[in-house]
Amino acid sequence: MTTPALLPLSGRRIPTLSPGASSFTHHRATLRLSEKFILLLILSAFITLCFGAFFFLPDNSKHKRFDLGLEDVLIPHIDSPKEGKHASGQVVIHGQGGHDEHRHRGRQEGAEQESLRDKIRADHERALQEAKEKLRKSREELQAEIQTEKNKVMEDLKKTNAGPKPLPPVPMPRVVGINDGEPPEPDVKEKRDKIREMMKHAWDSYRQYGWGYNELKPLAKKGHSTNIFGATIVDALDTLYIMGLHEEFKDGQEWIEQNLDFSVNAEVSVFEVNIRFIGGLLAAYYLSGQEVFKLKAVQLAEKLLPAFNTPTGIPWAMVNLKSGVGRNWGWASAGSSILAEFGTLHMEFVHLTYLTGNPAYYQKVMHIRKLLAKMDRPNGLYPNYLNPRTGRWGQHHTSVGGLGDSFYEYLLKAWLMSDKTDTEARKTYDDAIEAIERHLIRKSNGGLTFIGEWKNGHLERKMGHLACFAGGMFALGADGSPDDKAGHYLQLGAEIAHTCHESYDRTVLKLGPEAFKFDSGLEAVAVRQNEKYYILRPEVIETYWYMWRFTHDPKYRQWGWEAAQAIDKYCRVSGGFSGVKDVYSSTPTYDDVQQSFFLAETLKYLYLLFSSDDLMPLESWVFNTEAHPLPVLHLGNITLPGSEPAQR
């Protein structure tokens, strides 16, 4: 088996042996013996010199230590032995104070220095003893040792070239409701068939004009990519499978087997790669059982881990897949990481630990959760920016739309995906939603409930299309709400769904704008030209689907069908589907991009909206923020590597 290009050969660090080095002559053995003797003498002298110099080192107890008091926060996965919590919730390092502590610390450091001297003496004696033993050996014995070391190097190289280590066998989670779901009503079935035809048009156009590229330009009828390839293929796989388009699914699988390569020298978004590629590959694996998807997901995940090498353990926004060097977006509040990006890793990383047995993935995301739990939150709200170097919040801007949205979604879904055993995630979600409801959710003069954005101490009465997902989130989280608030949150979800439908209904095209305001007499309407576009986004339809599942109110299917008809009428072109630049214009211009999430999310949620509830039942599946379904882990008494047993 050849080693995939994704995995760097550790053997590259080992010098290769020339063909002539396989046999050693009498002369070479003599020369090596002399060299070894000289080297051992030099090594012995060097150790003796270092040992003597140790006693002339300055006493570090006389130097005051610069201590930020943030060891537990700024050093990932290391807990400080003197850690405690201030009344404010901030972590502090307790000190004893006074001369007693200084004397105690001095005695302690003196004992530590003596212990270190003893260790150096022991190491020195051991090195001298090993040198003497080497010099007593014959030339033949030394040759045999050299040959043994050579053989070991060659064995290591063989193991390295044998390919990636096979993943441990783990029980496949219960997979139910992955096909069919045909509705009993003929008119609903007709609508579902139409959605399937739209998916076929989008996929076939991409297959013909943009195959292997990230996304399709449907008017130009060509593909375009940024720095990694095949996003549409990976994003669309599970939708194809759920819709029963198995030939198309097979085409995508073959491309992934033969062409999906992560060894490129390219900088990628950790967030986007996680939700689209890792999420899409994991979902395809669970639906089809094909090992290639699991292996590719793990190969890619290994490439993301260097992004976590920051002083706080909060990952960089971007990482170079080849070098592992990370950095943040230049525009993000003085080099901060973004809440919705580093907070939208939990679902996929838990499944990676489950499938690989590697605790690193689970530990990375749990460290982020623990760090956030220790931090002060203004008004109980999570700002959208956090500096990965200092562990401090950036600009105090809080949003349930862009920059914040999926952080809250993943708190709830971590609880659901754990079979409702991760009560810490549920409590964090409940606390966050309580603060959001208190400070961000308002009702307009016209009676529309909306979610504003907190900026610099005041509420901006504007809601983004991205925030419309929250209606579905409130409905999904209603069951299990504290203080018997299930009915309240289901109603709140319905109100958000109504507001977002109004944002669609008040446009010419019956498609929603990117953002809409609630002031100056205008409600649920975009004001700025650069907020009037629709790029095939799924969030409103996502909320319709969740509300349908929990209420079976027929209006949600009606609203979903209105959106589907508008997309088919105004966004469909001969080469696929395109976004439009102005939903208030009767003659819109196209942006000429068929977004990969249109196939991953928008069409999937529409198809599920017109399917029966036994297709992808919510008791068994949790959808990531790119609509890739991951199974609930019914672990029972099994615990993830690196985790503590879950408490119900």
Map 365-428 to HEC letters: HHHHHHHHHHCCCHHHCCCCEECCCCCCECCCEECCCCCCHHHHHHHHHHHHHCCCCCHHHHHH
Residue 640 near residue 647, CB atoms below 8 Å: no
Nearest Cα neighbor of 259 from 284, 240, 233 is: 233
Residue 596 near residue 276, CB atoms below 8 Å: yes
- The beta-carbon contacts of 358-363 under 8 Å, at least 24 apart in sequence, are 358/641, 359/640, 359/641, 359/642, 359/643, 360/305, 360/642, 361/301, 362/640, 362/641, 362/642, 362/643, 363/77, 363/642
DSSP code per residue over 228-279: S--HHHHHHHHHHHHTT-HHHHHHHHHHHHHH----SS-EEEHHHIIIIIIH
CA–CA separation, 431 and 420 (whole Å): 17
∠ CA 113-118-120, nearest 5°, is 95
∠ CA 410-415-421, nearest 5°, is 160
∠ CA 595-601-607, nearest 5°, is 125
Instruction: Please check if 589 is assigned to a binding site.
Output: no
What are the CA-CA distances from residue 318 to residues 75, 173, 230, 394, 617 (Å)?
A: 20, 32, 19, 18, 34
Strands 267-269 and 222-224: unpaired
∠ CA 117-119-121, nearest 5°, is 70
What are the CA-CA distances from residue 218 to residues 123, 138, 283, 414, 589 (Å)?
A: 70, 76, 27, 37, 13
CA–CA separation, 506 and 513 (whole Å): 10
Whether the CA torsion 330, 335, 339, 345 is positive or negative: it is positive
Q: Residues with catalytic annotation? A: 272, 405, 514, 539
The phi and psi torsions of 451 (rounded to 5 degrees) equal: -115, 110
Neighbours of 6 (CB within 10 A): 20
CA–CA separation, 146 and 477 (whole Å): 65
CA–CA separation, 147 and 356 (whole Å): 36
Q: Where are the alpha helices (DSSP H) in 137-185?
A: 139-161
First-to-last CA distance in the chain? Answer: 45
∠ CA 520-526-532, nearest 5°, is 160
Amino acid letter, 50: C
> Residue 637: exposed, middle, or buried by beta-carbon count in 10 A (0-12, 13-18, 19+)?
exposed
Neighbours of 325 (CB within 10 A): 13
Amino acid letter, 340: A
Q: Which residues of 144-175 are buried (b: 16+ CB within 10 A; e: fewer)?
A: eeeeeeeeeeeeebeebeeeeeeeeeeeebee
- Joined together, the tokens standing for residue 321 give 């897949």
Q: Is 84 helix (H, G, I), strand (E, B) or coil?
A: strand
CA–CA separation, 76 and 389 (whole Å): 12
Q: Tokens 């630049």 label which residue?
A: 581
Residue 195 near residue 557, CB atoms below 8 Å: no
Q: Which residues are annotated as part of the binding site?
A: 625
Q: Which residues are annotated as part of the binding site for Ca(2+)?
A: 625
